[in-house]
Amino acid sequence: MVKKGRVFSGARPTGRQHLGNYLGAIKNYVTLQDDYDCVYSIVDLHALTTLEDTAHLREWTYEMALDWLAAGMDPGRGTIVFVQSHVPQVTELHTILSMVTPLGKLTRLPTFKEKVREQPDNVNYGLVGYPVLMCADITLYKANAVPVGVDQASHLEFTREIVRTFNHHFGPVLVEPQAVYTETPRVLGIDGVNKMSKSLDNHIEIASSPEEIYERVRMMVTDPQRQRRGDPGRPEVCNVFSLHQVFTPQETVQQIDSDCRTAGIGCVDCKKMFAKNLADYFAPFRERRARLAENPDEVWEVLHRGAEKAGVIASQVIDEVKGAVGLP
C-alpha cells in the first residue's frame, strides 16, 4: 500500500509508560502505522537537558522500548523504533540549524521559561536549544507529520519557522512538518486533579499486573461530594467515570452513569469494574511484554536495527543539508 508520508515522533525515556502516555501518544503511534511510514524515537539526548542524575537512563530507555514494542509499534511493519543518540547525525543537524535560529525566539518560548522556573539551578545551554534539537529530530527524517500533544504546539510551530528560514536561505531541502494533535482529552492522575505523570506519582502503569492496577484504582479520587455510599454521585466530575468511557463498553457506561446518580452502585463497585476492564484491556499487552522481556538483548538488538535503518535516511539528509549550506 502507498503510504501518505512519513510520521516522526519522539518521547523522552521515562521508563514504564502510564495510561496518560498510552492514551495521549502510544495508541495513536500504533494506529498511524496503517497510513504512514513511521519513525519513533526515544529521545535520550533531550532527557539530558532536565536530568541531573542519569543513572536510570538505560533502564528507562529499555522499559519504555518494551512498552512501545508490546503496544504494537512494529518494526516488522517497517516502523523504525530507535534511540536518538544512536543516530549521531542529529547533533550535526542541530548545530547547523542553530545557526539560523534567533536566540531571542528560544528564550521567549513559554516552555523554556517554565523550565527556568522549574530548575533555576540548571539552566543549561542544551535546555535553550531543546526546540532546535527537536527540529533536527523531525527534519533529519523529512517527516511530513508529527503526532504530539498540544503542550508541544509551540515547539512544532517553531520547527516550521526554522524550516522556512533554512529553506529560504539554502534552498528547498527540509520538509515543513504538519502537527497532528491527538484528540484524547488530557488524562488526569489518580488524584483526579493533576495531569497523570510519573513525577507526581499519580499514575497507573500500563504494564501493571491486575492486582497492581486494582491497588492504584482503589486510590482514585472520585466525586468529592459523594462522601457516603448512599450519596448520589456526579459522573461528569468523576475521573473513574471518564476513564470508564475509554475502557468500558458503551451500554455499561450508560448503566454506570445512571446507577451512580441514583447511588445504585458505590464507588467501590464502580472501581472494581473499572480495574477489571482496564486489566482485561491490557492483558494481551502484558503477555507480549513478558515474552519480549525474556530476552533483553533482543530488545536492544531491535533498537540497534532501528538505528541502522534511521541512519541510512539520516546520512542522506545530512549530506544534502551540508551541500546546501555550502560546507566543503
Give residues in contact with ligand TRP (CB under 6 A).
8-12, 43, 46, 134, 137-138, 146, 148, 152, 155
Residues 6+ apart with CB under 8 A from 2: none
Residue 90 or 265 having the CB closest to ligand TRP: 90
Minimum distance from residue 9 beta carbon to ligand TRP (Å): 5
Q: Which residue is nearest to ligand TRP (CB)?
A: 10
* 158 touches 135 (CB < 8 A): yes
Distance (Å, whole) CA 192 – CA 237:
9
Minimum distance from residue 24 beta carbon to ligand TRP (Å): 10
Minimum distance from residue 237 beta carbon to ligand TRP (Å): 28
Residue 7 or 213 having the CB closest to ligand TRP: 7
Residue 145 or 299 having the CB closest to ligand TRP: 145
Reported residue count of the chain is: 328
Give the amino acid at 39.
V
Half-sphere exposure of 102 toward its Cβ, with a 13 Å CA cutoff?
7
Minimum distance from residue 121 beta carbon to ligand TRP (Å): 21
Residues 6+ apart with CB under 8 A from 166: 97, 100, 173, 174
Residue 46 or 216 having the CB closest to ligand TRP: 46
Distance (Å, whole) CA 118 – CA 86:
29
Q: Is 141 left (phi over 0), alpha (psi -120 to 50) or beta?
A: alpha
Quickly list DSSP for 247-279. Answer: HS-HHHHHHHHHHHHTTSS-HHHHHHHHHHHHH
Alpha helices in 140-249 (DSSP H): 153-170, 210-218, 239-247
Minimum distance from residue 148 beta carbon to ligand TRP (Å): 5
Residue 11 or 220 having the CB closest to ligand TRP: 11
Residue 87 or 138 having the CB closest to ligand TRP: 138
Minimum distance from residue 85 beta carbon to ligand TRP (Å): 12
